[in-house]
């Protein structure tokens, strides 16, 4: 299908002997804003880490833009969960954003003037230019998330894969991130976002994947984000919806 950018076929993932994902079949919409929702432990992070080739599946196939090789990852900006990043690492905000440029240059070459300009422009988009020389250890949760989105923007990828970017941040940052995502979507970018707040799914995302170890439902938010499907995914956790 032309409007599909990622296709997952019969994907199975396990940690040691414990299955984490089974029989995942999924098409992700090109130029969409897709939320991935499901209860804690549903395998949302596992699925996107497998897309990023950070986890090796037991079986299955992931095609990104029709490709399965590692080179395609250059075209994906990955924003990991905040908790997975070592924020004590001595680096300034600008250093972090410049990392977005390394996929284009390799780690050996030093950033050029143009890379710095692109990084500063990305910081401006995230209203973080005043913090460019600040150590990342000194940032608030919302500022850290802005810096990470700036890094993703500096990478200039077509696909953004984000693991709970709105977790634990202030409402101003949340609104800014959603405004930037919507704007980038109008420029042709695709978003795949692990999202925890069920009350904002309809407002923020045009497509949704509801999962719990396997896919419960996926498609346009209006059609798929129903009480029945959410109930199915969250039932075993006893969440009332």
The residue whose two tokens read 């284009």 is 104
Provide, rounded to whole angstroms, the least separation between the CB of residue 142 and ligand ATP: 19
CA distance 55 to 46: 8
Provide, rounded to whole angstroms, the least separation between the CB of residue 180 and ligand ATP: 23
Provide, rounded to whole angstroms, the least separation between the CB of residue 95 and ligand ATP: 27
User: Interface with ligand ATP by CB under 6 A: which residues?
Assistant: 15, 20, 38, 40-46
Residue 110 half-sphere exposure toward CB, CA atoms < 13 A = 2
Closer to ligand ATP by CB, 4 or 81: give it.
Answer: 81
Provide, rounded to whole angstroms, the least separation between the CB of residue 234 and ligand ATP: 12
Closer to ligand ATP by CB, 183 or 237: give it.
Answer: 237
The residue whose two tokens read 């029709």 is 66
CA distance 212 to 227: 15
How close are the terminal C-alpha atoms of the chain, in Å? 34
| 119 closest CA partner among 92, 155, 76, 89 | 155
Provide, rounded to whole angstroms, the least separation between the CB of residue 196 and ligand ATP: 7
Closer to ligand ATP by CB, 44 or 101: give it.
Answer: 44
Cα dihedral: 34, 38, 43, 44 (round 10): 30
The residue whose two tokens read 């795949």 is 192
Closer to ligand ATP by CB, 43 or 80: give it.
Answer: 43
Closer to ligand ATP by CB, 33 or 195: give it.
Answer: 195
């Amino acid at each position: 299908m032309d409007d599909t950018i990622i296709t997952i076929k019969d994907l199975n993932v396990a940690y040691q002997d414990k299955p984490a994902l089974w029989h995942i079949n999924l098409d992700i919409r090109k130029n969409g804003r897709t939320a991935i929702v499901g209860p804690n432990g549903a395998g949302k992070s596992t699925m996107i880490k497998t897309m990023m080739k950070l986890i090796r599946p037991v079986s299955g196939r992931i095609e990104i833009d029709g490709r399965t090789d590692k080179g395609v990852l250059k075209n994906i900006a990955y924003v990991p969960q905040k908790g997975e990043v070592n924020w004590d690492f001595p680096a300034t905000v600008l250093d972090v954003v410049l990392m977005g440029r390394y996929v284009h240059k390799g780690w050996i070459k030093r950033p050029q003037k143009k890379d710095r300009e692109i990084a500063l422009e990305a910081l401006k988009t995230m209203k973080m230019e005043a913090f460019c020389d600040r150590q990342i250890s000194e940032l608030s949760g919302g500022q850290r998330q802005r810096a990470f989105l700036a890094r993703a923007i500096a990478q200039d990828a077509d696909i953004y894969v984000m693991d709970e970017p709105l977790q634990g941040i202030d409402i101003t940052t949340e609104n800014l991130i959603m405004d930037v995502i919507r704007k980038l979507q109008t420029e042709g970018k695709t978003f795949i976002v692990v999202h925890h707040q069920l009350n904002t799914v309809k407002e923020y995302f045009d497509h949704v994947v509801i999962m719990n170890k396997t896919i419960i439902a996926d498609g346009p938010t209006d059609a798929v984000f129903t009480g029945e499907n959410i109930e199915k995914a969250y039932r075993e956790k006893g969440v009332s919806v």
